[in-house]
């Protein structure tokens, strides 16, 4: 009976915060204030800038900035309030974080065959921020820990703290939470950012068909973990979903072209 108030408080909290909706209409759970996430993102970005060398080539920086500005403008975000940094690193990586920060590795520029392919990745990363996926992930983690804490009190609070059976149940709960909740949600975030990023890049005037070619190139890398143990969809799953969303993206692209949105970044 002592656990009931804590349990009810947790459920009430989840009900109150589970009212957000992603850009694609998926219901979300948000527990953290946006300014807290923005502060954390800015701090993380500052740390990252201290760890990796920054590309100083003005041509490369103008190229990346041009693409990022077009994406941000299409997303109705104030491009002049975003910091865009190119890092000298061979990995094909890019990221965007709350606090209006975008980072692009030179390795991604190398593997991207044209501005449209780089726009696909930047659009994907900006979509993570627009959908507040970092807030959702942090909220999920917090809720999961609260739920496991309550379960642990139920199972281990009756003087059986050393019970092998109870310990086994707790291990199973942790494993089930990891592979049954957290990883699938991460894959959902990636798929959502893929689709919304496709719409974003096409609305900015970049050819969305190039996104499929980019992921095909990236899928030619080394061995990948099984999809059910991965935080990202498999290359083929990702490409299949992009193709499903392509008709809408092409409509966005054609409309952008008709209204004069034709980025010439490189």
Phi, psi of 84 (to 5 degrees): -120, 120
Which DSSP category does 229 fall into? G
Radius of gyration in angstroms for the set of CA atoms belonging to the chain, rounded to a whole number: 21
- In this predicted structure, which of 21-25, 45-49, 51-55, 96-100 has the lowest mean pLDDT? 21-25
- In this predicted structure, which of 28-32, 121-125, 135-139, 151-155 has the lowest mean pLDDT? 151-155
Distances (CA, A) of 57 to 20, 65, 99, 132, 135: 41, 12, 25, 32, 34
| Closest to 30 in 3D by CA, of 159, 153, 146, 133 | 133
**More reliable by pLDDT, 63 or 179:** 63
Per-residue pLDDT averaged across 105-133, rounded?
93
What local confidence, expressed as pLDDT, does residue 109 receive? 95
Distance CA 218, CA 224 (A): 11
What local confidence, expressed as pLDDT, does residue 139 receive? 74
Per-residue pLDDT averaged across 34-60, rounded?
90
- pLDDT tens-digit profile of 172-193? 545 555 545 445 557 788 889 9
The structure tokens 């990883």 sit at 183
Distance CA 226, CA 35 (A): 36
Q: Residues of the chain with pLDDT > 90: what percent?
A: 43
- pLDDT tens-digit profile of 156-168? 555 444 455 555 4
Distance CA 192, CA 195 (A): 5
Contact 24, 167 (CB under 8 A): no
What local confidence, expressed as pLDDT, does residue 232 receive? 62
Structure tokens at 6: 């804590």
Per-residue pLDDT averaged across 215-240, rounded?
66
Residue 16 — very low, low, confident or very high, per pLDDT cuts 50/70/90?
A: very low
For the cut 90, the answer to whether the pLDDT of residue 11 exceeds it is no
What local confidence, expressed as pLDDT, does residue 122 receive? 96
Residue 233 — very low, low, confident or very high, per pLDDT cuts 50/70/90?
A: low
What local confidence, expressed as pLDDT, does residue 87 receive? 96
For the cut 70, the answer to whether the pLDDT of residue 144 exceeds it is no
Phi, psi of 260 (to 5 degrees): 95, 5
Distances (CA, A) of 219 to 28, 111, 212, 236: 30, 12, 10, 8
Per-residue pLDDT averaged across 40-61, rounded?
92
- In this predicted structure, which of 103-107, 145-149, 198-202, 250-254 has the lowest mean pLDDT? 145-149
């Amino acid at each position: 009976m002592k656990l009931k108030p804590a349990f009810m408080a947790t459920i009430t909290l989840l009900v109150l915060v589970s009212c957000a909706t992603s850009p694609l209409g998926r219901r979300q759970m948000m527990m953290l204030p946006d300014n807290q996430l923005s502060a954390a993102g800015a701090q993380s970005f500052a740390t990252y800038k201290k760890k990796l060398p920054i590309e100083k080539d003005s041509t490369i920086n103008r190229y990346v900035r041009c693409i990022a500005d077009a994406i941000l403008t299409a997303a109705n975000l104030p491009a002049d309030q975003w910091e865009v940094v190119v890092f000298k690193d061979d990995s094909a990586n890019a990221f965007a974080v709350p606090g209006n920060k975008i980072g692009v590795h030179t390795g991604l520029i190398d593997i991207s065959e044209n501005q449209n392919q780089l726009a696909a990745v930047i659009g994907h990363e900006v979509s993570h921020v627009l959908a507040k996926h970092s807030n959702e992930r942090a909220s999920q983690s917090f809720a999961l820990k609260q739920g496991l804490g309550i379960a642990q009190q139920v199972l281990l609070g009756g003087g059986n703290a050393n019970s092998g059976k109870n310990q086994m149940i707790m291990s199973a709960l942790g494993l089930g939470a990891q592979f049954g909740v957290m990883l699938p949600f991460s894959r959902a975030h990636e798929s959502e950012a893929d689709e919304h990023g496709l719409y974003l890049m096409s609305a900015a005037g970049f050819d969305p068909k190039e996104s499929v070619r980019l992921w095909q190139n990236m899928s030619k890398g080394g061995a990948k973990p099984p999809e059910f143990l991965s935080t990202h969809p498999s290359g083929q799953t990702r490409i299949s979903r992009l193709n499903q969303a392509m008709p809408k993206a092409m409509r966005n692209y054609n409309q952008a072209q008709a209204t004069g949105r034709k980025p010439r970044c490189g």
